[in-house]
Structure 1
Amino acid sequence: MKIGRNRLAPLVLALSAVLALGACASENPGSTSGETITIYSGRSEDLIAGLLETFTTETGIGVEVRYGDSAELAAQILEEGDNIRADVFFSQDAGALGALGNEGVLKALPSETLELVPPEYRSDAGVWVGVSGRGRVMAFDPEKVSELPKSYMDLTRPEWKGRIGIAPSNASFQAFVTAIRVLDGDEAASSFLDGMKLNAVLFEKNSQILQAVEDGVIELGLINHYYWFELAEETGVTDMRSEVAWFQAGDPGNLINVAGVGVLSDNPAANEFAKWLLGETAQKYFVEKTAEYSLIGLDPMYGIKPITEIEAPVFDLSDLATLSETLELIRKAGLL
């Protein structure tokens, strides 16, 4: 379908080399209730600082934030052990939340919070909940691509050599490969990666892939949905060279990953924050400011296909926690 516009030790080992966090602390001094929560945020400051200020304005709860990479912050939380300094972990992806959930670090969330989102976007164990979604798509040049691939494995065929773009160092691509491992096995993932080594042009970022399609450098790229729709909104759909498409139903290439939160302390304000993120104010913010999917049913902007119409693979997103094994396969294929 297309639209015109057993445990976390391996993860800790994989991340220990980068655990010198480039994280920065930020404080919101606007508390009026005397309550404050500390958040370790894998979501960047430029994306959520305004949202956190609104939270404090509406609730009176102050916020102190440490920003960094989600996987690195998850490893930091484990390093802190019984002396965890954060009340909330706000992760860019489900994998880091799943890793902490597997370690028993996260507190059980109230059912009234969990039930605000569909089961596929929350922890089966009830210890984390997604708050916004983003989908994987194909951005392609309709003037050059007459027949779209039905499966991610189609892209390993010789006829795609030099025509496609991927970003192996990008966390979203790595989550996609992890989904392949979870759904189809390591052998399938290795076969796909070997095919990408032969066929793909490599980029650092999703935005670079999309621009390469727009410039005619490549014919198809694997990106997150919002890059295309934000550019289309900025430039106008009629001025877009590329279009967007999805793989066949249930394909790992249609992965919908989530940003989400888990609670690390018994501070009641932490649970209040988790629930607030699933209220109308925060959900509108994700839809309007980050072009992500609302997980409580708000309509998307920019002509984005509704999340309920995407035939994404269904599995426990906590299983995206096995990042270290994915990185090993990507390195073995010579893509990192």
Structure 2
Amino acid sequence: MSLTRKLSVVAATAVLLGGVAACGSSSSSDGEGSAAGSSVSSSGSELVVYSGRDEDLVDPLIDRIGAGVGVPVEVDYSGNTNAQAAKILEEGDRSPADVFLGQDAGALGALDDAGVLAPLPQDILDRVPEQYRGADGTWVATSARARVLAYNTDDVQTADLPTGIDGILDPRWKGKIGYAPTNASFQAFVTGLRVARGDDGAERWLRAFAANEPVSFEGNGPLISAVDDGQIAAGLTNHYYFYPYVAEKGSAASLALHSFDANDPGSLVNVAGVGVLTSADNQEQAFALVREMLSNSSQQYFADETAEYPVIGGITSKYDLPPLPQGASDLDLGQLASLEQTQAMLTKVGMI
């Protein structure tokens, strides 16, 4: 990659850092990095992970798998996924990070485009289906999630549910749909929409959506609660916010999930994932960490603790997860890397 190209990616991701700062204050149920935590420095005797996933989620897993890495593991939780990716790009070869753990394929793709991620060993790549890893083998998914429409079962009849995202533009949904515009997952959905329909088509949809007066939330956790409470009739979210919420609330919950039709942009399947930096001081130990995150026990952890889909076979969640939707999951997740353009479009239409 040329220096000009790398610098342009650095600048683009720095824009994202400012645009998604609100994500860092989301609750832990949002699966994003918390604002707590401090910068770390690598002495070469420990493995340094920059995590865009929440400390409450990641730390118990690191405690369980750390012994298999060979050196102590230190984790920086000081920003959300996009902020941590931006920090890596800003630090360049001086970054103390060995590993990037992200909530979203777009951030992984941005780092890949910048040339800062190392090719992963073949045994790691073979562990994960091709659609859940970088096209050039520099990152792999650690878990998957599906975009869905959560709806209030007291307010919405199943016969009235839209088959695709164009259906929620109907005036009947005016002021009744929730969304979380600063959340990385919503922005990944918009990026997928841009890939599917082009920038002009995506902007037309966003403007029509905005004209239908959707209700903005700071995160998906509050959005799910608002749907259940009847503040809104439905909300665009990820599937895994629903299952722990309903498990805790039981029959008192007035919630259900609806999946859009296959090939609709609203049925996007996205992933959390991991990559190893080319500048890593402890590259072999970093690869060992990736292997541990793809072990059966770690995949079971993701399936049971956050109701995410495992990315290896043979793992069954304690939650009754339906099969992943087909169609939109065929999108090359590497195409979600154009986050700067998505941020610019959301700003242009007044959503962030």
Q: Does the pair score TM above 0.5? A: yes
How far residue 87 of structure 1 moved from its aligned partner, in angstroms, is 1.0
Q: 1:312: Cα distance to partner?
A: 3.5
Counterpart residue number, 1:104 = 115
Instruction: Give 2:64's match in structure 1, choosing from 42, 51, 54.
Output: 54
**Aligned residues: percent identity?**
43
Q: Which residue of 2 aligns with 1:235?
A: 249
TM superposition shift of 1:181: 0.5
Q: 1:110-150: per-residue Cα shift (whole Å, max 9, x none)?
A: 11101111111100110000011121111112343332111
Q: Classify the secondary structure of the residue corresponding to 1:223.
A: strand
CA contact (8 A) 2:10 2:86 kept: no
CA distance in 1, matches of 2:205, 2:83: 27
Q: How does 1:162-181 map to 2 (within 5 A)?
A: 162-181=175-194
Q: Secondary structure at the match of 1:262?
A: strand
Aligned residues of 1:36 and 1:269 also touching (Cα < 8 A): no
Q: CA 1:26–1:105 in structure 2 vs 1: closer, same or farther (change >3 Å)?
A: closer
Counting matched residue pairs gives 323
Q: Distance in 2 between matches of 1:275 and 1:283?
A: 11
CA contact (8 A) 2:119 2:138 kept: yes
- Unpaired stretches in structure 2, ≥5 consecutive residues: 25-34
Q: Which residue of 2 aligns with 1:218?
A: 232
TM-score scaled by length of structure 1: 0.89
The answer to whether the aligner puts 1:287 opposite 2:298 as a matched pair is no
Question: Out of 28, 39, 44, which is 2:49 matched to?
Answer: 39
Structure 1 equivalent of residue 321 of structure 2? 304
User: Which of the residues 160, 172, 178 maps onto 1:159?
Assistant: 172
Aligned counterpart, 1:30: none
Match of 1:258 among 271, 274, 277: 271
Among candidates 209, 217, 220, match of residue 223 of structure 2? 209
**Distance (whole Å) between structure 2 residues aligned to residue 16 and residue 48 of structure 1:** 22
Distance 1:16 1:118, change over 3 A: closer
Distance (whole Å) between structure 2 residues aligned to residue 79 and residue 230 of structure 1: 36
| Unaligned runs of at least 5 residues, structure 1 | 1-5, 28-33
Q: CA deviation at 1:36?
A: 2.5
Superposition deviation, residue 35 in structure 1 = 5.6
Task: Give the match for residue 149 of structure 1.
Answer: 162
TM-score by length of 2: 0.85
d(CA) in 1 for partners of 2:169 and 2:20? 35
Instruction: Quote the Cα distance in structure 2 between the aligned partners of 1:13 and 1:56.
Output: 31
More off after superposition, 154-163 vs 37-46? 154-163
Specify the alignment match of 2:31 in structure 1: none
Stretch of structure 1 that moved more, 13-22 or 34-43: 13-22
Matched, 1:273 2:289: yes
Residue 257 of structure 2 corresponds to residue 244 of structure 1: yes
**Are 1:115 and 2:129 an aligned pair?**
no
Alignment of 1:188 onto 2:201: yes
Could you tell me which amino acid in structure 2 is paired with residue 299 of structure 1? T
Match of 1:319 among 316, 335, 345: 335
Task: Look up the equivalent residue of 1:188 and give its one-letter code.
Answer: G
In structure 1, how many angstroms separate the alpha carbons of the residues matched to 2:330 and 2:57? 28
Q: Counterparts of 1:14 and 1:23 in 2: how far apart (Å)?
A: 21
Q: CA RMSD in A?
A: 2.2
Q: Which moved more, 1:175-184 or 1:52-61?
A: 52-61
Aligned partners of 1:134 and 1:256 also within 8 Å: yes
Runs of 4+ in 1 over 6 A off after TM superposition: 18-21
Alignment partners' CA distance in 2, 1:16 and 1:247: 31
